[in-house]
Amino acid sequence: MTGRDTEFVEFVRTRGPSLRRTAFLLCGDWHRAEDLVQIALLKLFRAWSRIKAAEAVESYARTVLVRTAVDESRRIVRRRERVSDSVPEVVAPAENPDATLDARRVLAMLPARQRAVIVLRYWEDLPIEDVAQMLGCAEGTVKSQAAKGLATLRKLLAREPHLLAMEAVR
């Protein structure tokens, strides 16, 4: 193994669990989170020598992960929508309204961009400027997406008073 490879392996060993937790909060599914992290790490490895020289590895990795999650969620939405002339024969089971939700399920109800902003701002505790840079948008967009996301979470939590607080996700 080269020195470059050794440095990359060490980064994955030390920061991989944190990236997986962040990916899980972004998508709400551990299997999909693993896939997102693998895609992000592949992109990170391709640019490793350039990033390592700039000492911005952690920020770059998180940015790539968030953008990958947002891109993948858009692809999933496109794949789920299918035009059909006929009604499916199998009826989807109705969700049990008495079932206890947890904060992760509510977080997963947010649109991908709002979910990314909420996770980065309030879970990762990043400043608005960093979140805007990671998502490739203006700071005002981060503020508005955070406000909309929090408003949606409050509505959802108000409807489900037995729901765990966001701290329970940690």
Confidence of residue 10 (pLDDT cuts 50, 70, 90): very high
Confidence check: pLDDT of 163 > 80: no
Number of domains in the chain: 2
Q: Which 3 state secondary structure label does DSSP give 114?
A: helix
Q: How confident is the model at residue 52 (pLDDT cuts 50, 70, 90)?
A: confident
Give the single-character DSSP code of 98. Answer: T
Average pLDDT over residues 113-133: 90
Name the residue among 8, 15, 10, 2 with its Cα closest to residue 51: 8
Q: For residues 68 and 109, state if they share a domain.
A: no
45 lies in which domain range? 3-80
> Under a CB-based contact definition with an 8 Å cutoff, are residues 141 and 132 in contact?
yes
Average pLDDT over residues 137-163: 85
- 76 and 110 both lie in a single domain: no
Residue 51 forms part of a structural domain: yes
Contact 126, 118 (CB under 8 A): no
Q: How far is CA 26 from CA 92, 124, 145, in A?
A: 25, 11, 14
Q: Which residues contact 109 (CB under 8 A, 6 or more apart)?
A: 152, 156
Task: Mark whether 109 and 165 lie in a shared domain.
Answer: yes
Write a three-state SS string for 41-88: HHHHHHCHHHHHHHCCHHHHHHHHHHHHHHHHHHHHHHHHCCCCCCCC
Angstrom CA distances, 44 to 9, 47, 71, 102, stand at 12, 5, 16, 32
Residue 97 domain-assigned (yes or no) = no
112 and 52 in a common domain: no
Examine residue 60 and state whether it is found in any structural domain, yes or no: yes
The whole-number pLDDT of residue 154 equals 86
- Whether 75 and 8 share a structural domain: yes
Position 97 scores a pLDDT of 45
Identify which of 114, 105, 169 has the alpha carbon closest to the alpha carbon of residue 147. Answer: 114
